[in-house]
């Protein structure tokens, strides 16, 4: 059964303290893996798409990487405005499988 698991559920960091969020997946046919950011009471905002193992993408303080089993979203020197829930989704044979998200809180 296709499954996407995100960890940790919640992560509290001090401003400037770098860390990583994990998205592990078990799917039958990976077509792409997506990262989104969601602020409270808003729709998800698209961040990245990764297609194959070894691929990396960066945007400001965020970098997403992909292996055959998991993806990491690295956040470098985060700021309070990076606080949000980060969602991972995997396109498995044209069906999106969503993770439950990681709630990231950056304290000033």
Binding site for another protein (CB under 8 A): 31-32, 34, 36, 41-46, 49, 87, 91, 94, 96, 98-101
Q: Which of 45/81 has CB closer to another protein?
A: 45
- What's the min distance (Å) between Cβ of 95 and another protein? 9
Q: Which of 43/54 has CB closer to another protein?
A: 43
- What's the min distance (Å) between Cβ of 16 and another protein? 27
Would you list the DSSP string of the chain? --EEEEE-SEEEEETT--EEEEEEEE-SSEEEEEEEEE-TTS--EEEEEE-STT-EEEETTEEEEE-SSEEEEEE-S--GGG-EEEEEEEEETTEEEE---EEEEEE-
Q: Which of 31/74 has CB closer to another protein?
A: 31
């Amino acid at each position: 059964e296709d499954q996407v698991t995100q960890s940790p559920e919640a992560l509290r960091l001090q401003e400037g303290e770098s860390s990583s969020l994990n998205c592990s997946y078990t799917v039958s046919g990976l077509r792409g893996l997506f990262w989104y950011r969601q602020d409270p009471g808003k729709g998800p905002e698209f961040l990245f798409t990764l297609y194959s193992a070894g691929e990396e993408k960066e945007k400001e303080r965020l970098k997403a990487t992909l292996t055959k089993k998991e993806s990491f979203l690295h956040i470098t020197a985060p700021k309070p405005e990076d606080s949000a829930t980060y969602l991972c989704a995997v396109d498995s044979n044209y069906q999106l499988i969503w993770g439950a998200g990681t709630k990231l809180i950056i304290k000033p």
